[in-house]
Chains A and B, each alone.
Chain A
Amino acid sequence: MTRHVLGRLAATAFIAVVIGFFTLPMLWLAAAPFDDTPTITVSIPQFTLGNFQAILDNPYAAGSIVNSLLQAGGAAVLVVVLAALAAYALSRVHVPGRDLLLYLLLLMSSVVTGTAAMVPIFELATRLGLIDTHLGVILVVSGGLLPAAIFILKDFMDETPTSYEESARVFGATPLQILRHIVIPLVRPGLSTIGVWAMASVWGGFLFQFILLRDPEKLPGSVILYTLYTEGGAPKLDLISTFSLLYSLPVVAMYLLVSQRYGFRFHGGIKR
């Protein structure tokens, strides 16, 4: 019996330590944005919303959110459209070696990481004139996201019955009409999941954006935030804290949306 009680006590103590460990670094993000005089130490804030003005005063902060939207949104649209087309064709038409192809693509996407490919990607983007363009970032990140997107969407497509498509075909619908009016509505949850997943991973992404972009006018939020705390002089804590909060909220919102709506968790292989 004592062993049982001791076990319960140890478990409770462990839970308390875990909550403390994971919460401690985040307290600053909750307190500093609303503190009259934000410092690096966590303290109970003298409440104010004035710090958010700092975002508008900085020449690049607000624009970087727009850049993040362009790059993350662009990549999400490109990945969803291309992956849906490819997944549909691969699901409905039997191509010899299809499973091996998908398998190899998935293998490549987990092997060719940003770390392993940063040198050739930088070279390639330089030669194609894609340095300092939104398009460069969109194309590079999409190449890495597409294999997993095709793989997951093909699973969705395989599970939808083909009988609707067959009857639509009997009534003379063209393949593109069938895709638009029948298949896409059926797999919409899959498409939204892939879209939000692509958007969230590009929104938070750092490495490719960091090496492909130099012009501060083009930098997304992730890189602008890094320059804010690494540039010389005393860090502007009002700006860093409010910007961090503003830039984090969409990711949290996207995660909650997907996990509540589709009961989907960012599972293995999904987040890199």
Chain B
Amino acid sequence: MTTDAAGLGKARASAFVLPALALIAVFLIFPALWTIYLGLTDYRLTGLAAAQPRLVGVDNYTGALADTRFHTSLWLTVLFVGGSAIAGQAVLGFTIAWILRSRRGPVRRLVEGVVLLSWILPSSVVAFLWIALLDRSGGTLNALLGTPGFAWLLDYPMLSIIVFNTWRGTAFSMMLYSAALENVPPSHLETARLAGASVPQQLRDVVFPLLRRHILTNLLLISLWTFNDFTPFLLTAGGPEGRSEILPVYVYNVALRGGSLGAGAAISFLILLINLIMALAYLRLLRGRRRSQEAAAGGPPA
């Protein structure tokens, strides 16, 4: 809409937009750019380098890239994203959506309700619920499995936070795939079934090709969110001995707990770059969808 219906005029329109832009510039864009500079200094939270930080060039970057603790953290993050977002949330979310697609009524509402509830509860609440569930001496899980004294968070910290994050975030994938499955024409599936296709064949030949973009969108978004998720800190704080120190927790431990702000900023910048790649891929996907819809609208019926 380009007509100036209310007679705002360019000057007043700018005055309307400026406060929001100023806030975004100071608290979102400037920090991102400043990270690059901070990452080139030996800035520390306390001590001499806190008062007079020196430029150390790319030392923080080369230091991080050579540090085995950083390598471990990067690998744990890959495990966390692959295990909890892709293998966990996306697969479980799709399976729930697929099983529930033809059901209505109380069972469907109950399943959707509990899955959604685990998504909307505040993170510090769900973190304690899982600490209680996995507790060594009195945890409900050990009571159910008959394994008293088993220390899940100490012996299997990565498995614990992966299962936790699957539980925490499946709702988004479930909702996205439920909405997408409603657009799969039932006749397509019916035809495949009559032709004797098994469920895996129906999924492979009919459903997945139709939902390809939804699946890609989903995988990119949940990977981006999981990659940046700080909630595992509330469960394990990265421990024991850094065995669940995914990148968000690593940055916190290095920069704000350890006081090496410069080194932390260098890692932050690497995280920003990885985020940027994922977000650009997502936006490309959205643009591609718009173009293909236009093409479909203009082209002959498929």
A residues engaging B (CB < 8 A)?
A: 7, 11, 14-15, 18-19, 21-29, 39-42, 78, 82-83, 85-86, 88-95, 103, 105, 107-124, 139-140, 142-144, 146-147, 150, 158, 162-163, 165-166, 168-169, 175, 178-179, 183, 200, 203-204, 206-207, 211, 221-223, 225-226, 229, 240, 244, 247-248, 251-252, 255, 265-269, 271-272
Centre residue among B4, B224, B231 by max chain A CB count within 10 A: B4
Decide if the interface of chain B is mainly helix, strand, loop or mixed: helix
Contact between chains at B31 and A92 (CB < 8 Å): no
**A to B CB contacts below 8 Å, 17 in the list:** A14-B99, A21-B167, A22-B114, A40-B135, A86-B21, A92-B4, A115-B271, A118-B255, A123-B34, A143-B27, A147-B24, A175-B6, A175-B7, A204-B120, A204-B123, A244-B128, A248-B121
Q: How far is the CB of A19 from chain B (nearest CB, A)?
A: 6
Contact A143 B23 (CB under 8 A): yes
B19-46 contacts to A, CB under 8 A, are 19-21, 23-24, 26-32, 34-35, 38, 43
B27 CB contact (under 8 Å) in A41, A103, A121, A271: A121
- Identify 7 new A-B residue pairs, CB closer than 8 A, beyond the known A143-B24, A175-B9: A21-B167, A25-B132, A93-B8, A107-B279, A123-B38, A200-B120, A204-B121
Nearest CB in chain A to that of B250: its residue? A115
Interface centre among A40, A103, A115, A207 (most CB of B within 10 A): A115
B140 within 8 A of A: yes
With known contacts A27-B140, A41-B143, A146–B24 Cβ distance under 8 A: yes
Q: Are B256 and A111 in contact (CB under 8 A)?
A: no
Contact A40 B132 (CB under 8 A): yes
Q: Does B217 contact A (CB under 8 A)?
A: yes
Q: A272 to chain B: which residues have CB within 8 Å?
A: 225
B108 shortest CB reach to chain A, Å: 9
What DSSP secondary structure best describes chain A's contact surface?
helix
Q: Quick one: which of A24, A142, A165, A268 contacts B23, CB cutoff 8 A? A: A142
User: Nearest Cβ distance between residue B9 and chain A, in whole angstroms?
Assistant: 8
Q: Is the CB of A92 within 8 A of B124?
A: no
- CB of B10 within 8 A of CB of A123, answer no
Taking a contact as CB atoms closer than 8 A, the residue among B13, B21, B139, B248 that contacts A92 in the complex is B13
Number of interface residues of B (CB under 8 A): 98
CA distance A229 to B10 in the complex (A): 54
Is A111 in contact with B276, judged by CB distance below 8 angstroms? yes
B152 contacts the other chain (Cβ, under 8 Å)? no
B297 at the interface (CB under 8 A from A): no
